[in-house]
Structure 1
């Protein structure tokens, strides 16, 4: 019985610690502005926070994909607002303007939804490299 209680308490402590642990981007309750550190590889621009093409930036909290997408939109001259990692309404509007341009000027068939996902990431990385 004591062993089961000890195991349960250990598990509860581990779970509580995981839930309460701060994320890599947590800190204060006020928004933090991030710096963009651009590099180029294979004809694509990167800002130093996320190098993939699949993660969708979060509108509900700070994410590395959010910072990356905001940096690339800014480099491509589509103002996402403050580079804070939260992909909110202003960032989504910038992404929609970018998606519209890619469809109209370059023949893409990307949904104009303000979501930077599998279709938008490669185009954004390419465009941010050549149109900075």
Structure 2
């Protein structure tokens, strides 16, 4: 999705908090909605990616953003 950054462990900011909310609402626990992409968020993202049957790498890029549909 254009305008949304690629996120991975170590990323911070509002886009991370948005992604954390989306994976939490999909049934995965990213930990606190803190805007800080740590290992628990990466694990939750992998679970979300697996559920959506897309590349399961724990990185939120265009394909993952598209399935999140923020």
Which of structure 1's runs of 4+ aligned residues deviate more than 4 A? none
Give 2:60's match in structure 1, choosing from 116, 119, 127.
116
Compare relative contact order (CA 8 Å, sep 6+) and give the higher one, 1 or 2: 2
Superposed CA RMSD: 2.1
The number of equivalent residue pairs is 70
Distance in 2, matches of 1:53 and 1:111, equals 21
Secondary structure, aligned partner of 1:119: helix
TM-score by length of 1: 0.47
Q: Which runs of 5+ in 1 are unaligned?
A: 1-50, 104-109, 127-132
Question: Residue by residue, what CA displacement relative to the aligned partner does 1:9-67 show, whole Å, maximum 9, x if unpaired?
Answer: xxxxxxxxxxxxxxxxxxxxxxxxxxxxxxxxxxxxxxxxxx95641235325211111
Bigger strand share: 1
Q: Unaligned 5+ residue runs, structure 2?
A: none
